[in-house]
Structure 1
Amino acid sequence: YAFPGGLMIGADSHTPNGGGLGMLAIGVGGVDCGEVMAGLPWEVLHPKLVGVHLTGKLSGWASPKDVITYLCGLLTVKGGTNKIIEYFGPGTQSISATGKGTICNMGAELGATTSVFPFDDRMATYLRATDRADLARLAEEYADHLVPDPEVLSNPKACYDELVEIDLAELEPHVVGPHSPDRDRPISKLADDVRANGWPAHMKSALIGSCTNSSYEDMRRAAHIAMQGIKAGLRAKTPFLITPGSERIYQTIKRDGIVATFEEMGGTVLANACGPCIGQWKRSDVGKDETNTIVSSFNRNFPGRNDGSAATLSFLTSPEIVTALAFAGTLEFDPVHATMPGPDGRPFRFTPPEGEELPQDGFVKGEEGYEPPAADGASVSVVIAPDSERLQLLQPFPRWDGRDFDRLPILVKTQGKTTTDHISPAGAWLRYRGHLDRISDNMFLGAVNAFTGEAGKGVNVLTGEAGVPFTKIARDWKAKGIGWVVVGGENYGEGSSREHAAMSPRYLGCRAVLVRSFARIHETNLKKQGILPLTFADPTDYDLFGEADRVSVVGLQSLAPARPVEVRIHKPDGKTVTIQARHSLTDEQIGWFRAGSALNALA
């Protein structure tokens, strides 16, 4: 769907992959997409611009993945919030179109609105290789409009809000993790970091692929490393799992012998799906709470993200580094600078990976899995079994009753990173994504309670019972007609565009979320579902909230754009602390709040 110079929104946070073809491809919530499909306008906070000036050329072990993992370490997971990352400079031309896609894909891990590269010959070549020669010709005709203007190149500091310089010739492979994609270090420092932190060096699994790193070039370069190891008599010392990004990629790498190479080194090819990248990975090699280490070429490594276990330490790097590490089975091996013992005991050294970016014989074509839509859509009816746990007809959320929020209990005050995976875990829960009541049983399972340090459980302040799952407390309060609030920290809701992280709280009675800062997509999703998203005027106000406090949000009748909201914290001893909170609601979004949700406002 991507093409140079276009604008696209998609209901996935990694939609920015399309920036690898020079498109502004932006991840949004599903309601945003539905509204646009219905012909309604789409809006986004006007983003700032971050220019990333690339010089030099990638060579040796350095890969596109290392550009973005290095940048994640530099800018952090909230450094791109409400910003577009624009890559420019001569270095961009040394990166393939799919390599550019990898970089833009993981721009989501910066919190960026999107990322984009200027049009070049590498993009045109890719378009022609994927049966889009007409688009390539059109882009070439208007190429001057698809690259930075001359004044940008001559004086970038005047054109960008922030400017980052990266010399690709100096870049070495980077490894990020565990638990966050901005915990970065070069491969040469990994072993020392592992020992200093007491992390298990032994790898339980090595995984490559996913939407981030399963291009033909990725697979070919990883296979080049695999062939070196096989030729030296080596086999993977840890389970090696490969997730092709599409049926076309799978069939092409199978035809070209790449699948056979991976299998010969001990690898297992999985389905063309999100799989372990989104937690759909049932493991039997470790216990649920057993600390263990995995390495992948995926895009996210939050606690519990890959296998549902917060004890798993997940590291991210390029497919070729993952493949080399699979032969060693340990994070203490540096394939760039060190040797490992071969079967004969003699030292063996990998040479840098090589691989063409596109298949010489073209991509395998086919439409496996494609089902055309009905010729007459009006004749299609959807029937849901009454006892289904997979599907449920949505009912409208109740409208705002016109009153202030008065003395609401705090369901959870989250501590540390609170991603959408913490709020609404994926994995096996995804089978219920069409059934709001059933999937809401996972609400806040991964969120760490700031008062106890325990994940997923809190105190029901109405009964005094402790150690109760948050979802059970929320259901109890909902049954009694009591709304509740959430208190959180920085970059609340980062990660996936998963709407259930907003829908489940709304369904179970959440009225407002007060945090230090929001991730862009999640803040919008909260607005769409009729929850009031507020940020502290003073970030230190987070510390004022106690477990037994009640919270009032007053003056809601006069809620208006850019006008602060008064929040009162009622202490158990009768004292009241008043603070100010901000919001980013527009007039239209205030209408959603009053209607109970954006969908209600459209009805």
Structure 2
Amino acid sequence: MASVSATTPIELVERVYAALPGNVEIARDRLNRPLTLTEKILVNHLADPQNQELERGDSYADFHPDRVAMQDATAQMALLQFMTAGLPEVAVPSTVHCDHLIQAKVGAKIDLGVAVDTNAEVYDFLKSVSANYGIGFWGPGSGIIHQVVLENYAFPGGMMIGTDSHTPNAGGLGMVAIGVGGADAVDVMTGFAWNVKWPKVIGVKLTGTLSDWSSPKDVILEVARQLTVKGGTGAIVEYFGAGADSISATGKATICNMGAEIGATTSVFGYDQNMSQYLKATGREAIADAADKVSDHLRADHGADYDQLLEINLDDLKPLINGPHTPDLAHKVGAGVGEAARANDWPLVPSAALIGSCTNSSYEDITRAASIARQAAAKGLTAKIDLMITPGSEQTRATIERDGLLADLEAIGATVLANACGPCIGQWSRPESITSASNTIVTSFNRNFPKRNDGSPNTLAFVTSPDTVMAIALSGRLDFDPTVDTITAPDGTEVSLDAPVGQILPDAGYDPGEDTFTAPPADGHDVPIAVSPT
């Protein structure tokens, strides 16, 4: 039976780790060279480690992932397919997450209520099927699938598949997490191996340390600049080096999340103390302790060989803003994007600024944004354009509300949206008076191709860090550079913004907020499947 709860059972993790040393040794013997972390995790999830061909970019391999996650839009067809298999329950731990069907329009409470009413038949169907077949169900308001997975299910050295392209977010905890289609999810849920081409491995060596206005988001924007939107195709991007170890687990997740924008199969970081601390802060001390015992196998071997190698010195990395219409069109914040905007007739006064989503809604992200908001409020500044905040999960929302961070953001005019994908995936209702004309928006989201956010081809979307989004919202200018430019306060004084100050983890621990998880009953076979209309 598949064990499904609101977290990954330690027994599952221990089974993965028990097999890890032996399978790593098999791979070292067969390949006769040091291994990347990617290879260690993949070999440990092979159906046949002894005989499977291991040629990068050529061999097709059968894997057995540890779990499956599905968002509500793609889960519907996947579960209908699974129901035809005639099995009493799923073969691996699986979860459904209701995050895609909530439209942003007014604010969190009203928007969520409208979604619950509008999508009642979908939610009832997903909840009843989940109960019937042993699947965990995260209801509307729980948060975005990838953030919920990071907070509850991801673990170092694990392997999962999810029916959404940004499943690689879990790489922030050292997991090989791959976005797939519903048919692949059904294969795994029915107990079949998952077949896919053995990926190449692109290494990204990080040195130095991020500081001032530079953030983890700038790392992946720089990688996108170098590799382009197709540069990661057929490969897993593996980050390593002292610079990688200096980045928080949620910062690592931001970087891995946007690996989808360069076409990568997934992205992953090696296990370190930042991951251990995050696991403990989110109630998974036992998993951290287990990972510590096999930590050498949860990092690349010294001298591991990569198909391609990039090196980025974090000391030299400056804030970037990428777009519009493609995440690899990189500009330096300020004069760089300003010059491009004037050359291409992009509006320099944005119509909206948005912070959050699965990519950038961690406690650290929000504390940095709130630190800017506090100093702005103290100097009489408020947002000059619409500013919207999307918490990534109910746990994140409850924690940042408890700690006064939402109040800091609301004090400068921010609107808090529901814990859902919302504007990141086009679930954003905007007035035609705005979308009918050329307009720019700045977001800390992941994807910015035409029509992505509001369905309008006239909206030009730029992706950047939450810090830069906040600075642009306060200045009202796309070409604002917070490192050198000033903002005129209501009293006529010129205000400089100090660099943001963040806190990686909450001192008082995470507040779980409202319990939105429904575990399947021990025997849910008698639960009627809710189908409306019948």
User: TM-score surpassing 0.5?
Assistant: yes
**Which residue of the other structure, out of 296, 311, 314, is the alignment partner of 1:165?**
311
Distance 2:439 2:286 in 1: 49
- Give the alignment of 1:445-460 within 5 angstroms: none
Give the corresponding residue for 2:278: 126
**Equivalent pairs, count:** 381
Q: How do 1:167-182 residues align onto structure 2 when only pairs under 5 Å count?
A: 167-182=313-328
Distance 1:321 1:281 in 2: 22
SS at match of 2:376: helix
Question: Could you tell me how far apart the structure 1 residues matched to 2:300 and 2:516 are?
Answer: 40
Q: Which 5+ residue runs of structure 1 have no aligned equivalent?
A: 153-158, 389-603
Deviation of residue 277 (structure 1)? Answer: 0.4
In the alignment, the residues of structure 1 paired with residue 433 and residue 292 of structure 2 have an alpha-carbon distance, to the nearest angstrom, of 53
User: 1: CA distance between counterparts of 2:475 and 2:453?
Assistant: 22
The answer to whether the Cα contact below 8 Å between 1:19 and 1:117 also exists between their aligned partners in 2 is: yes
1:212 aligns with 2:359: yes
TM-score (norm 2): 0.70
Q: Which has the higher helix share?
A: 2
Partners of 2:435 and 2:352 lie apart in 1 by: 15
Runs of 4+ in 1 over 6 A off after TM superposition: none
1:288: Cα distance to partner?
A: 3.9
Q: CA deviation at 1:160?
A: 0.7
Which residue identity lines up with residue 321 of structure 2 in the other structure? V
Of 199, 202, 221, 2:349 maps to 202
Structure 1 letter corresponding to 2:178:
I
Q: Quick one: distance in 2 between partners of 1:285 and 1:258?
A: 32
Q: How far off is 1:330 after superposition? A: 1.3
Per the TM alignment, residue 289 of structure 1 is displaced from its structure 2 partner at its CA by 2.8
The secondary structure found in structure 2 opposite 1:175 is: strand
The 3-state SS of whatever aligns with 1:286 is helix
Aligned residue identity for 1:223 = A
**Paired amino acid for 2:160:** M
- Residues 380-430 of structure 1 show CA distances to partners (whole Å, capped at 9, x for unaligned) of 2325345x8xxxxxxxxxxxxxxxxxxxxxxxxxxxxxxxxxxxxxxxxxx
Which residue of 249, 256, 259 corresponds with 1:104? Answer: 256
Which residue among 459, 464, 485 is the counterpart of 1:317? 464
SS in 2 for 1:8: strand
Letter matched to residue 488 of structure 2:
P
Paired residue for 1:236?
Answer: 383
Cα distance between partner residues in 2 of 1:143 and 1:234: 47
Letter paired with 1:377? G
1:75 to 209, 223, 227: 227
Indicate yes or no: 2:443 matched with 1:296: yes
TM (norm. structure 1) is 0.62
**SS of equivalent residue, structure 1 residue 377:** coil
- Give, in whole Å, the separation in 1 of the partners of 2:482 and 2:526: 59
**CA distance in structure 1 between the partners assigned to 2:229 and 2:320 by the alignment:** 16
Deviation at 1:367, TM superposition (A): 4.9
Quick check: 1:215–1:249 contact (8 Å CA) kept in 2? yes
Which residue does 1:253 correspond to in 2?
A: 400
Q: What residue in structure 2 maps to residue 184 of structure 1?
A: 330
* Counterpart contact for 2:398–2:513, Cα < 8 Å: no
Q: Distance in 2 between matches of 1:373 and 1:264?
A: 41
Identity %: 56
CA distance in 1, matches of 2:433, 2:354: 16
Residue 293 of structure 2 corresponds to residue 147 of structure 1: no
Q: Which runs of 5 or more residues in structure 2 are unaligned?
A: 1-152
Letter in structure 1 aligned against 2:490: P
How big is the shift at 1:192? Answer: 1.2
- One-letter amino acid matched to 2:487: M
Q: Does the CA-based 8 Å contact 2:394-2:512 persist in structure 1?
A: no
Shift of 1:374: 3.9
Counterpart CA distance in 2 for 1:88 and 1:109 is 20
Structure-1 separation of matches of 2:224 and 2:268: 16
Question: Who is 2:188 aligned against?
Answer: 36
1:7 corresponds to which of 159, 162, 173: 159
> The residue matched to 2:309 in structure 1 has which SS?
strand
CA distance in 2, matches of 1:374, 1:4: 28
Return the letter of the residue paired with 1:174: L
In 1, Cα distance between equivalents of 2:240 and 2:323: 27
Say which of 389, 394, 409 aligns to 1:262: 409
Question: Which one of the candidate residues 479, 482, 490 is aligned to 1:332?
Answer: 479
Q: Is 1:226–1:324's contact at 8 Å kept on the other side of the alignment?
A: no
CA shift for structure 1 position 285? 6.3
Contact preservation (8 Å) 2:162, 2:185: yes
- The question of whether the paired residues in 1 share the 8 Å contact of 2:399 and 2:513 is answered with no
Aligned to 1:473: none
Rg (Cα) greater in structure: 1
Q: 2: distance between equivalents of 1:186 and 1:120?
A: 31
The equivalences for 1:377-392 within 5 A come to: 377-386=524-533
Q: Distance in 1 between matches of 2:523 and 2:203?
A: 48
Deviation, 1:375, is 4.1
Higher relative contact order (CA 8 A, sep 6+): 2
What does 1:367-406 correspond to in 2, within 5 Å? 367-386=514-533
- Whether 1:365 and 2:517 are equivalent positions in the alignment is no
Structure 1 counterpart of 2:498, from 318, 334, 351: 351
Alignment of 1:464-479 (within 5 A): none
Matches within 5 A, 1:52-71: 52-71=204-223
Distance 2:283 2:307 in 1: 38
